[in-house]
Amino acid sequence: MGPLIVNEIISSSVNFLMAFLIGIGFGFVLESSGFSSSRKLAGVFYGYDTVVLKVFFTAAITAAIGLLFFSLFGWIDLSLVYVNPTFLPSAIAGGVIMGAGFIMGGFCPGTSVCAAVIGKIDAMVFIGGIILGIIVFAEGYPLWESFYKSGFMGTPRMSDWLGWSQGVFAFVMVLAAFAMFFIGEWAEKKFPQKEY
């Protein structure tokens, strides 16, 4: 059956409408969960608040297990699910840049938009930085195009790269999530947030 758009079960217009509605729902959930707070988001790096870590690990294992079961029942063809191509050096560099921005600003791109929508000035400044970064990247692209396109690895899945079945990889990911939940609880007790 799925993916819906690839198998022409829904039109492009319906696909965009669904994406729009899911995006609104995602933003509502982010705000309701307190993810528009830069202190809460930065807390994961300092150990005093690991809710972000727990939520994203929960989302990852829910999606992984859900896709496996959907595939098992024939509801989705995993071979048709798009996987971003991997350019390893630029992916690592991008991760370092984004991680540094996350630590300094207390937002990721999605949560900054969520916070800006409710009027947080620091988030608006953060979005200004994102836009500036996009302009610098686009205008300077010829300078770093060779680096950006280096280390092409195709579209590997971690399970294929490790030589594991998708089920084994999902099980290990669930175990890793539980380990991170335990470490998160330990960190919150070890590094409690200071009250000012």
Q: What is the pLDDT of residue 46?
A: 83
The stretch 144-170 carries a mean pLDDT of: 90
* DSSP codes of every residue in the chain: -BSTTTTTSS-HHHHHHHHHHHHHHHHHHHHHTTTT-HHHHHHHHHTS--HHHHHHHHHHHHHHHHHHHHHHTTSB-GGGS--PPPBHHHHHHHHHHHHHHHHHHS--HHHHHHHHHTT-HHHHHHHHHHHHHHHHHHHTHHHHHHHHT-SB--S--HHHHHT--HHHHHHHHHHHHHHHHHHHHHHHHHSPPPP-
Q: What is the pLDDT of residues 105-148, one digit of tens each?
A: 888 888 899 899 899 999 999 999 999 999 999 999 999 999 99
Q: What is the pLDDT of residue 178?
A: 92
Q: What is the pLDDT of residue 92?
A: 95
User: Which pLDDT band holds residue 195 (cuts at 50, 70, 90)?
Assistant: low
User: Which pLDDT band holds residue 2 (cuts at 50, 70, 90)?
Assistant: low
Q: What is the pLDDT of residues 7-22, one digit of tens each?
A: 778 888 898 999 999 9
Say what percent of the chain tops pLDDT 90: 40
Q: What is the pLDDT of residues 21-47, one digit of tens each?
A: 998 998 888 888 888 888 888 888 888
Q: What is the pLDDT of residues 44-82, one digit of tens each?
A: 888 888 888 888 889 889 999 999 999 988 888 888 888
The predicted model scores a pTM of: 0.76
